């Protein structure tokens, strides 16, 4: 079984990545010139900042919300309730990313559900602009990435024994101190693994920022798409792609070093 | 231990695997293995591909016996052709409705073939002069027109200048985000360039971008596809702005009360092209001549999609209600200007750079 897997991996993963990296350094004027072109463009710089900042926000939201969901699942007594929580979490996971984005665009539209509910409740006088904003992108991405976060932290979270908290409390610790000094150190590897996975996937988002963020809040992937399909500037697209790849690898590598491969693998394998 | 039920996880893993494999590349196809002629057309996906297959390819194959394949590569003609040319393996013979700017760029880069003189002569007998270029015939013509939601604003403008006049006609604006030439040309019309001057007018970039910046300040959203064109009007993000003509009428059909403003809009032809490096260039040009000389088939194609076709005789076969929505309908055609593609090809890099900084910077 190992040989075919290695061949497939080499053919469809290693070769394209090596070729991409070589293209980034050899096409056009070669060397670092394509990377210089990436950073010379104010539009790409803007999209890089956009990508990183919004992915960070999504990561924080996913880890915080994921931890509470994961905790609830671990602590749920009834099997039916547990199954319901998993189903609620994984349903959006199975929906296409385009379907999810369109669902949010219906909710966020000027004459959409959210605005009309708030209007009828008398909360707002004028419909708010929600669609084609950074907020819409963050919500849409968080919705997409939350299942990944929970799946990634679930192994560590479910191994945490609630008895530890009781022990800490009975030894005189406050509830907060018990969470920070007992719970957090034990589940930290799971949280870090979840954060790394969510961030690494988030920086590659394309469809959600296009459909919910519109033309003026581009992600790096949007700019790479521009370069390939609109401006036919393949060398610069290759350089931008390598940049994203390196960023994702650095984040995953750092996380791997911090928590060990077990936590990351546990996250991916569930 | 609290793991999700095994079945759920398996399904989740499957969903991941599907996502990955869905990124696979387009299927390729070469010429007929038994020596028979086989043409491959690159098209835009349904409903486009179906209309081309049903109304053009099928009757053509019945008449000539040539086998014709259609592959979908929406918006990727030039990028894919460039890759195919670099790899010395051009898989396509014909391009169905290449966008205007892309066709001029592709010809400039030697990706599509120059039309042989004898073919050109014969085509000019069938089609109006401005429908026949050095590299193909115009096809699937659209207008870039104004669309204005009459319910959302007090008064709708009646021409392009009004669309750009945000003081006289307040309201959230929209336009296409993927075509700098369209926006710059429209802005120049608003600045006083007439549609007769437009085809040879050299756009004053500083002035045009200044006009576009004012337009952007009033922008509710930019659209990048026909579906989004509809969506921004239907969802209320945009009250007036620049729209594909076909989509503007689509809005009316689906209940959004828009006024369609043809005056000083843009005539936007797509093109049938033959690729440079096609294995069967003669047969490919034969196909182009066939569709130019079959106005009834062209009419059926136009009716199916709501895109216009250049053969005037086609309008004898199109019902009047549809005809009035098409860019080649004489009353509409006279209100539209042609863009200066030659200028765009020459200034391609600077224009795109400034456009990207303007929109995304």
Compute the distance between CA of residue B115 and CA of residue B126 in angstroms, rounded to an integer: 15
Strand B136-149, strand B258-274: pairing? antiparallel
User: Inter-chain contact A93–B4, Cβ cutoff 8 Å?
Assistant: no
> Could you report the per-residue pLDDT of B330-361, keeping only the tens digit for each?
999 999 999 999 999 999 999 999 999 999 88
User: Inter-chain contact B2–A216, Cβ cutoff 8 Å?
Assistant: no
Are B136 and B161 in a shared domain?
no
Q: How many Å is the Cα radius of gyration of chain B? A: 22
Comparing A9 with B218, the larger pLDDT belongs to B218
Are B350 and B213 in a shared domain?
yes
Instruction: Let me know if residue B323 belongs to a domain.
Output: yes
Angle at Cα A54 formed by Cα A62 and Cα A67, nearest 5°?
10
A228 and A208 Cβ atoms separated by less than 8 Å:
no
Are B149 and B229 in a shared domain?
yes
Where would I find the beta strands (DSSP E) of B275-358?
336-338
Q: In angstroms, how far is CA B46 from the centroid of its own chain?
A: 14
Residues of B in contact with A230 (CB under 8 A): 178, 352
Are B173 and B107 in a shared domain?
no
User: Inter-chain contact A218–B9, Cβ cutoff 8 Å?
Assistant: no
Which pLDDT value is given to residue B13?
41
Instruction: Let me know if residue B23 belongs to a domain.
Output: no
Cα–Cα distances in angstroms (integers) from residue B25 to residues A21, A208, B76, in the given order: 20, 21, 12
Cα–Cα distances in angstroms (integers) from residue B194 to residues A116, A160, B264, in the given order: 43, 74, 8
User: Inter-chain contact A86–B8, Cβ cutoff 8 Å?
Assistant: yes
The structure tokens 């033309």 sit at A215
Residues of B in contact with A47 (CB under 8 A): 360
Residues of B in contact with A226 (CB under 8 A): 356
User: Inter-chain contact B12–A229, Cβ cutoff 8 Å?
Assistant: no
CATH number at residue B317: 3.40.190.10
Instruction: Let me know if residue B5 belongs to a domain.
Output: no
Instruction: Identify the burial level of B159 via C-beta atoms within 10 angstroms of its C-beta, where 0-12 means exposed, 13-18 middle and 19 or more buried.
Output: middle
Give chain B's domain count. Answer: 2
Compute the distance between CA of residue B125 and CA of residue B244 in angstroms, rounded to an integer: 30
Instruction: Let me know if residue B44 belongs to a domain.
Output: yes
> Could you report the per-residue pLDDT of B292-336, keeping only the tens digit for each?
999 999 999 999 999 999 999 999 999 999 999 999 999 999 999
Which two tokens mark B268? Answer: 């936007």
Are B249 and B290 in a shared domain?
no
A70 and A183 Cβ atoms separated by less than 8 Å:
no
Are B122 and B42 in a shared domain?
yes
Determine the angle formed by the axes of helices A33-40 and A234-269, rounding to 10 degrees.
90
Residues of B in contact with A132 (CB under 8 A): 220-221, 237
Which chain A residue's Cα is nearest to B101?
Answer: A230
> Could you report the per-residue pLDDT of B139-157, keeping only the tens digit for each?
999 999 999 999 999 999 9
Instruction: Identify the burial level of B291 via C-beta atoms within 10 angstroms of its C-beta, where 0-12 means exposed, 13-18 middle and 19 or more buried.
Output: buried
Are B137 and B169 in a shared domain?
no
Instruction: Let me know if residue B29 belongs to a domain.
Output: no
Q: How many CB atoms lie within 10 A of CB A252?
A: 16
Residue B18 pLDDT > 60, yes or no?
Answer: no
Are B247 and B286 in a shared domain?
no
Number of helices (H), then strands (E), belonging to chain B: the values are 17, 10
User: Inter-chain contact B8–A229, Cβ cutoff 8 Å?
Assistant: no
User: Inter-chain contact B359–A43, Cβ cutoff 8 Å?
Assistant: yes
Percent of chain B scored above 90 by pLDDT?
84
Interface pTM, i.e. ipTM: 0.82
Are B263 and B345 in a shared domain?
yes
Domain that includes residue B242, residue range: 143-268+340-360
A223 and A47 Cβ atoms separated by less than 8 Å:
yes
User: Phi and psi at residue B249, in whole multiples of 5°?
Assistant: -70, -30
Residues 6+ apart with CB under 8 A from B56: B290, B291, B294, B297, B298, B301
Instruction: Let me know if residue B61 belongs to a domain.
Output: yes
Compute the distance between CA of residue B25 and CA of residue B23 in angstroms, rounded to an integer: 7
Q: How many CB atoms lie within 10 A of CB A30?
A: 11
What is the torsional sign of CA A155, A157, A158, A159? positive
**Which residue ranges of chain A lie beneath pLDDT 70?**
1, 261-270
Residues 6+ apart with CB under 8 A from B116: B285
User: What is the number of CB-based contacts under 8 A between chain A and chain B?
Assistant: 100
Q: Which residues pair with B174 in a beta bridge?
A: B221, B241
Which two tokens mark A211? Answer: 């459909």
Compute the distance between CA of residue B325 and CA of residue A197 in angstroms, rounded to an integer: 51
Which pLDDT value is given to residue A252?
94
Which pLDDT value is given to residue A258?
87
Which pLDDT value is given to residue A1?
61
3-state SS class at B176: strand
Residues of B in contact with A158 (CB under 8 A): 1-3
Which pLDDT value is given to residue B22?
35
Instruction: Let me know if residue B166 belongs to a domain.
Output: yes
Which pLDDT value is given to residue A120?
92
User: Phi and psi at residue B82, in whole multiples of 5°?
Assistant: -60, -45
Are B73 and B160 in a shared domain?
no
- Average pLDDT for B170-195: 96
Determine the angle formed by the axes of helices B117-126 and B281-292, rounding to 10 degrees.
10
Which chain B residue's Cα is nearest to A106?
Answer: B235
Task: Please report which helix (H) or strand (E) contains residue B315, including its range.
Answer: none
Are B148 and B248 in a shared domain?
yes
Residue B35 pLDDT > 70, yes or no?
Answer: no
Compute the distance between CA of residue B116 and CA of residue B285 in angstroms, rounded to an integer: 9
Are B166 and B198 in a shared domain?
yes
Instruction: Let me know if residue B250 belongs to a domain.
Output: yes
Q: How many CB atoms lie within 10 A of CB B330?
A: 9
3-state SS class at B314: helix
Residues 6+ apart with CB under 8 A from B150: B156, B257, B258, B259
A192: closest CA of chain B, how far (Å):
19
Compute the distance between CA of residue B244 and CA of residue B242 in angstroms, rounded to an integer: 7
Instruction: Tell me which CATH homologous superfamily contains domain A46-232+250-269.
Output: MetI-like (1.10.3720.10)
Which two tokens mark A37? Answer: 């072109």
Residues of A in contact with B229 (CB under 8 A): none
> Could you report the per-residue pLDDT of B185-213, keeping only the tens digit for each?
999 999 999 999 999 999 999 999 999 99
């Amino acid at each position: 079984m190992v040989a075919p897997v290695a061949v497939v991996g080499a053919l469809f993963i290693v070769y394209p990545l090596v070729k991409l990296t070589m293209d980034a350094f050899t096409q056009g004027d070669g060397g670092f010139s394509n990377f210089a072109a990436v950073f010379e463009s104010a539009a790409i710089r803007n999209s890089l900042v956009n990508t990183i900042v919004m992915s960070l926000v999504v990561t924080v939201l996913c880890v915080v919300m994921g931890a509470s969901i994961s905790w609830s699942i671990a602590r749920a007594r009834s099997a039916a309730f547990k199954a319901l929580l998993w189903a609620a979490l994984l349903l959006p996971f199975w929906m296409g990313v385009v379907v999810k984005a369109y669902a949010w665009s219906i909710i966020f539209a000027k004459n959409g559900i959210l605005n009309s509910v708030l209007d009828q409740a008398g909360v707002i006088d004028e419909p708010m602009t929600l669609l084609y904003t950074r907020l819409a992108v963050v919500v849409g991405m968080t919705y997409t990435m939350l299942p990944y976060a929970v799946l990634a932290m679930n192994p560590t979270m479910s191994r945490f024994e609630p008895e530890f908290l009781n022990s800490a409390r009975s030894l005189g610790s406050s509830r907060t101190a018990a969470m920070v000094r007992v719970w957090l150190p034990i589940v930290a590897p799971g949280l870090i693994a979840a954060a790394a996975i969510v961030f690494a996937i988030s920086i590659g988002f394309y469809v959600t920022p296009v459909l919910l963020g519109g033309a003026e809040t581009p992600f790096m992937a949007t700019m790479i798409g521009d370069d390939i399909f609109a401006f036919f500037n393949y060398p610069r697209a290759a350089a931008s792609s390598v940049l994203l790849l390196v960023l994702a690898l650095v984040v995953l590598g750092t996380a791997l070093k911090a928590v060990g491969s077990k936590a990351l693998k546990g996250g991916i394998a569930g | 231990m609290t793991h999700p039920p095994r079945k759920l996880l398996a399904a989740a893993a499957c969903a991941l695997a599907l996502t990955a494999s869905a990124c696979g590349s387009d299927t390729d196809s070469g010429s007929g293995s038994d020596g028979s002629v086989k043409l491959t057309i690159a098209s835009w996906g349904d409903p486009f591909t179906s209309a081309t297959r049903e109304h053009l390819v099928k009757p053509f194959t019945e008449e000539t016996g040539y086998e014709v394949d259609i592959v979908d590569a929406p918006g990727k003609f030039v990028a894919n052709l460039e890759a195919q040319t670099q790899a010395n393996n051009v898989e396509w013979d014909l391009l169905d409705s290449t966008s205007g700017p892309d066709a001029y760029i592709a010809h400039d880069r030697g990706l599509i073939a120059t039309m042989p003189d004898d073919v050109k002569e014969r085509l000019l007998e069938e089609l109006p002069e401005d429908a026949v270029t050095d590299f193909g015939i115009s096809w699937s013509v659209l207008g870039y027109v104004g669309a204005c939601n009459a319910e959302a604003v007090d008064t709708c403008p009646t021409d392009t200048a009004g669309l750009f006049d945000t003081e006289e006609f307040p309201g959230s604006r929209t336009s296409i985000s993927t075509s700098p030439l369209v926006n710059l040309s429209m802005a120049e019309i608003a600045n006083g360039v007439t549609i007769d001057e437009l085809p040879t007018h050299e756009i004053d970039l500083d002035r045009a971008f200044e006009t576009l910046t004012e337009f952007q300040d009033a922008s509710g959203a930019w659209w990048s596809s026909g579906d989004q064109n509809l969506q921004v009007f239907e969802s209320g993000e945009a009250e007036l702005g620049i729209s594909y003509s076909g989509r503007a009428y689509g809005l009316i059909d689906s209940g959004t009360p828009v006024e369609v403003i043809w005056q000083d809009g843009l005539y936007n032809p797509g093109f049938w092209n033959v690729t440079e490096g096609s294995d069967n260039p003669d047969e490919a040009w034969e196909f182009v001549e066939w569709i130019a000389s079959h106005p009834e088939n062209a009419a059926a194609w136009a009716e199916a999609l709501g895109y216009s076709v250049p053969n005037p005789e086609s309008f004898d076969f199109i019902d009047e209600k549809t005809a009035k929505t098409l860019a080649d309908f004489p009353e509409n055609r006279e209100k539209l200007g042609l863009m200066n593609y030659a200028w765009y090809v020459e200034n391609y890099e600077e224009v795109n750079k400034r456009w990207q900084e303007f929109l995304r910077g």
